[in-house]
Amino acid sequence: MNPNDGKTTQDETDERQKVHDRKQLRLAGAITPQGSGSSGRREIYRAPPHLPLQDCDFQKWTKFESLPIEQACFVLLGYEPPPLHCLRFVPDIDNPSPTLTWSRPPEYYDVLRSLALSIRHEKIYAKEIPEYQYITQHVLWPELIRWARLKKYAIPKELEDIVAKMEAVAGSALETDTNAKAATRTSAKVGTGSELDPPVVKVSRVKVWTLTKPKRFQGYTEPLYLLLEAAHIAGQSKPTARDILQAFATNQPSQIAKVIEGDSLDYYIVKGTTKTANLKAIREAITGMTGKNQN
């Protein structure tokens, strides 16, 4: 009987496990050749990280309107994120080269996987942006915080406070404009009767309106939706096209190149070129998200 006929079940299991380990360690390992010549063995090992975890500087990272999900998960967990090329590096098992490695929080891969699945199932919106040689999925801070609350993740208080201030600024821009217009309408009505008549101020109730999130955002529709959402959550009247232009003029989003208040805006499209949207186009975009028969 030939002793080399076939392998035992244990040998096959061991071989499959080795193949599995080699694939897994591509994401977080390194390879060092051991021995010499063509018969030399390559020992695979999990390389110790060169760069340890550090507490996150939330003020620095929240100055960006959005972050790639790989870095955003670090910030959400309270740690300083590494450069994107460190997170995306995959060592070549057959042609190893030295590279910096970065510690990951214990929960990092679980949170990242959950976030990626939520994006795939359209539970949270992510914008695809070319970055370096990668296509990255960027998430906005308010969206990320709402998602983390829904998933019951522990959110660093400093990060939550900063994002709350962002949302307050966006909401206050709309509220200030709405109050100014209401005061103008009231003052115009005072004195329309005789001098003996007391001024009559008509108080109108805010009509109920609904908001529907588009399946895809294009051009300026993402910051438009966020402004509408802030007004809707605050129980305010539905913003008009002029309200939106004024809010964009006060706090101009990155998707917008120029705002002519009360007239139009220029927004970025493919390859950095711009396109103009006038009041009518903005009004139609608002109607598309809120419906026709509403305030």
> In this predicted model, what pLDDT tens digit does every residue of 59-106 receive, in sequence order?
999 998 889 999 999 999 999 998 887 777 655 555 555 556 788 899
Which pLDDT does position 190 carry in this prediction? 47
Write down the number of H helices and E strands in the chain: 10, 8
- If asked whether residues 73 and 99 sit together in one domain, one would say yes
- If asked whether residues 151 and 257 sit together in one domain, one would say no
Are 31 and 43 in contact by the 8 Å Cβ rule? The answer is yes
Q: Which of 227, 271, 231, 229 is nearest to 252 (CA)?
A: 227
Which pLDDT does position 235 carry in this prediction? 77
- How many structural domains are present in the chain? 2
Which of 18-32, 72-86, 113-127, 150-164 is predicted least confidently? 18-32
Rounded CA-CA distance 219/89 in Å is 31
User: What's the pLDDT tens digit per position in 230-239?
Assistant: 888 777 888 9
Rounded CA-CA distance 277/265 in Å is 5
**Is residue 195 included in any domain, yes or no?**
no
- If asked whether residues 119 and 226 sit together in one domain, one would say no
- If asked whether residues 76 and 151 sit together in one domain, one would say yes
**Is residue 105 included in any domain, yes or no?**
yes
**Is residue 244 included in any domain, yes or no?**
yes
- If asked whether residues 129 and 216 sit together in one domain, one would say no
> How much is the pTM?
0.46
Instruction: Give the position of tokens 């359209």.
Output: 122
**Is residue 197 included in any domain, yes or no?**
no
**Is residue 28 included in any domain, yes or no?**
no
- If asked whether residues 149 and 237 sit together in one domain, one would say no
Domain enclosing residue 246, as ranges: 165-184+210-290
Q: Sorting pLDDT into bands at 50, 70 and 90, what band is 46?
A: very low
Q: Sorting pLDDT into bands at 50, 70 and 90, what band is 114?
A: very high
**Is residue 32 included in any domain, yes or no?**
no
% helix / strand / coil in the chain, to the nearest 5? 45, 15, 45
What is the three-class DSSP state of 281?
helix
- If asked whether residues 286 and 170 sit together in one domain, one would say yes
- If asked whether residues 148 and 234 sit together in one domain, one would say no
**Is residue 119 included in any domain, yes or no?**
yes
- If asked whether residues 228 and 285 sit together in one domain, one would say yes
CB burial of residue 265 (10 Å; 0-12, 13-18, 19+): buried
- If asked whether residues 171 and 107 sit together in one domain, one would say no
What share of the chain in percent tops pLDDT 90?
A: 24
- If asked whether residues 169 and 151 sit together in one domain, one would say no
Last residue of some domain: 134, 155, 176?
Answer: 155
